[in-house]
Structure 1
Amino acid sequence: MGRTSLIALAVVLVLLGIVAANSLFTVHQTQQALVLQFGDPRQVIREPGLHVKVPFVQNVITIDKRILDLDIQPSEVIASDQKRLVVDAFARFRVADPLQFYIAVGNEAVARSRLGTILQSSLRRVLGEESFEAVVRDDRADLMERIKDQMNKEAEQFGIDVVDVRIRRADLPEANSQAIFRRMQTEREREANEFRAQGNEVAQRIRANADREVTVTVAESTRNAEIIRGEGDACRNRIFAAAFGIDPSFFAFYRSMQSYEQALQQGETTAVLSPDSEFFRYFTDPNAIPEGNAPVGRSASRAADLLARLEGDETLRSLLCAELERVAPTGGAEVLPETLPDDLPADQPIAPALEEGAAGAQ
């Protein structure tokens, strides 16, 4: 075979390759094809695989048969109660009729533009018939279904099937939202202040009741203490009065001893007195008798013993007060010390002696 034959064979093979490339085409499983002859649709191919067309005369355009996404910019809608809403929605669609799609819109970009306009008009038409609460809360699912049905009626002429419509967000405009937020915040603050005022009122009432109870309790305690103190002072005065009535000279002696104890305490006090003054009469003579008083006798010594024991015995003190009250009307206060035995030991209780003396006085 000569060189010319080889060249001719190569040319033939190249031409056959070119013809085959223009005659065969592949349709992907996610696509559907439309065969055009000089721009005139001749065949719709929906099945994937290898297909044949007339070379150099026919051409093929592919259309996606998957579900496609349509997203639009948020738009403002006025509800039936005249409240403005900013609605953000999207749709899902697919090309159901490639031939109708090609004749009506030509390509996917034009189809998205037309569908976006249809979606916005359907949103305004459907949502404009409903109230704010129905759009935001109550009937959103039903409203989205109605929007999809209206879109399908208009998109059918484009060979498009709208699969789904969703409202992503439906809110008040930003200015309205801020105003509503401020109003809600003011309302919550007012309620909080009201709750605080009620709490302060209850707290003040509780504090006032507590203060009143404290004042009443302290007053009652003070009154009881004063009563007890007064009763004790009265009993003490009665004892000293009875002792003074028994022996005035002993009482003068006892009071002098108390004066010595108070006046001669350890310290810086200096007293300049005459040795023969009335203040020091018991220093020179323990048995001194003040002028106008009877001698200090056995009654005084017994009364002194009685008072000495009385200072440290509260029970004895109360018994003595009761006994003096009982016998005072009959003059028992004067004879009571006389009823004590002369040989009563210092550590013997005086109450039995008082009982014996009271029985003897009667």
Structure 2
Amino acid sequence: MMKLTIIVTVAIVSILAIVLVALSLFIVDQTQYAIVLRFGEIRKVISEPGLYVRTPFVDNVVRLSKRYYIYDIPVEKIITLDKKTMLVDSYAIWRIDDPKKFLESVRTVSLALSRIDDVVYSGLRNTLAKLEFDDIVTGERQYLVDITDFAKKNLADFGIEIRDVRIKHTDLPTENQNAVFERMKSERQSIAALIRAEGQKEAQKIRSEADKQATIIRAQAMSEAERIKGSGEASATRIYAEAFSKDYEFYKLLRTLESYKSIIPNSVVIVGEDLSILEQMK
């Protein structure tokens, strides 16, 4: 009986020891922070993975993730510099950077998201209020850097690191869409009309210059043609003169025959007996 009692006692003590050891040891994963709390007070912050010891029934271990979160921020209304209301759908990439500050200030991820929502909205409102609607929609979005810096600065005291703030898309409230679209359409039509007018002006300038150049070229061509014609006539006169001086009778005969070609064909000619041109027909 005594032996059985000893065995039972040893078994109970062993079980209690195993339970005590199991309650004293805890494992920290590489993707986690571990914060050891004693009666609600932070005793230790563990950021390295491994096996650690705590005081059973006294210490409580809270684990927080080191990973980045993507928070899809609810759509907010923003008023731009030119007094237009727009809907901004944005998101933030964030993580817990200082677990001690995080646990002391916001304690839970849900409360952290609420704080991020407030800070990012303030950054959006303050930054976009300095810009006009067209610059926000069609610009290079350099303003996102300012919004991200604003969020980083204001959330650092809560142990939160903001990696980036981005806008998924912007839209107009339903009641404003038609008016804004009509205004944008009118502006684009005005710009198109101005571009067409400038194009027509440039085309007219090009046509005028082309007409001027064509006139100059024609004048130069006519001048060259007259010069060549004059040179040809001078050469012909010189040749005729040389031929006349060599054989006057033959030259007279040749010129008379050429005259017949232009007078007699297809015409009626009335001549007198004394017309010298008929001497060659005898």
Where 2:74 maps in the other structure, the secondary structure is: coil
2:102 alignment partner AA = F
User: Is the CA contact (8 Å cut-off) linking 1:74 and 1:89 kept in structure 2?
Assistant: yes
Change (3 A) 1:156 1:185: closer
Structure 1 vs Structure 2 CA RMSD: 2.2
2:174 alignment partner AA = E
Q: Match of 1:145?
A: 145
What is the CA distance between 1:8 and its match in structure 2? 0.5
1:109 alignment partner AA = S
2:96 and 2:81 map into 1 onto residues whose CA distance is 34
Residue 7, structure 1, aligned to residue 8, structure 2: yes
Change (3 A) 1:187 1:41: closer
Where 2:56 maps in the other structure, the secondary structure is: coil
User: Is the CA contact (8 Å cut-off) linking 1:73 and 1:88 kept in structure 2?
Assistant: yes
Q: Match of 1:304?
A: none
Q: Match of 2:78?
A: 77
Gaps of 5+ in 1: 192-362
1:248-296 C-alpha deviation (Å, 9 max, x unpaired) = xxxxxxxxxxxxxxxxxxxxxxxxxxxxxxxxxxxxxxxxxxxxxxxxx
Change (3 A) 1:185 1:136: closer
1:69 and 1:4 map into 2 onto residues whose CA distance is 60
What is the CA distance between 1:171 and its match in structure 2? 2.0
What is the CA distance between 1:121 and its match in structure 2? 1.1
What is the CA distance between 1:187 and its match in structure 2? 10
1:38-85 C-alpha deviation (Å, 9 max, x unpaired) = 111111111112111112211100011100122221111011111111
Where 1:2 maps in the other structure, the secondary structure is: helix
1:129 and 1:172 map into 2 onto residues whose CA distance is 18
1:71 and 1:21 map into 2 onto residues whose CA distance is 40
2:58 and 2:119 map into 1 onto residues whose CA distance is 37
Q: Match of 2:44?
A: 43
User: Is the CA contact (8 Å cut-off) linking 1:72 and 1:89 kept in structure 2?
Assistant: yes
User: Is the CA contact (8 Å cut-off) linking 1:65 and 1:95 kept in structure 2?
Assistant: yes
Any residues of structure 2 matched to 1:84-163 within 5 Å, and which? Answer: 84-140=85-141, 142-163=142-163
Q: Match of 2:61?
A: 60
Q: What count of residue pairs does the alignment treat as equivalent?
A: 189
Q: Which has the higher strand share?
A: 2
1:76 alignment partner AA = K
Q: Match of 1:172?
A: 172
1:166 alignment partner AA = R
What is the CA distance between 1:184 and its match in structure 2? 7.1
What is the CA distance between 1:146 and its match in structure 2? 0.6
* Percent of paired sites with the same residue: 40
2:146 alignment partner AA = R
1:145 alignment partner AA = V
What is the CA distance between 1:185 and its match in structure 2? 7.9
What is the CA distance between 1:118 and its match in structure 2? 0.8
What is the CA distance between 1:109 and its match in structure 2? 1.1
1:131 and 1:187 map into 2 onto residues whose CA distance is 15
What is the CA distance between 1:181 and its match in structure 2? 4.4
Q: Which ranges of 4 or more aligned residues in structure 1 deviate by more than 2 Å?
A: 178-188
TM-score by length of 1: 0.49
2:176 alignment partner AA = N
2:183 and 2:38 map into 1 onto residues whose CA distance is 67
What is the CA distance between 1:134 and its match in structure 2? 1.6
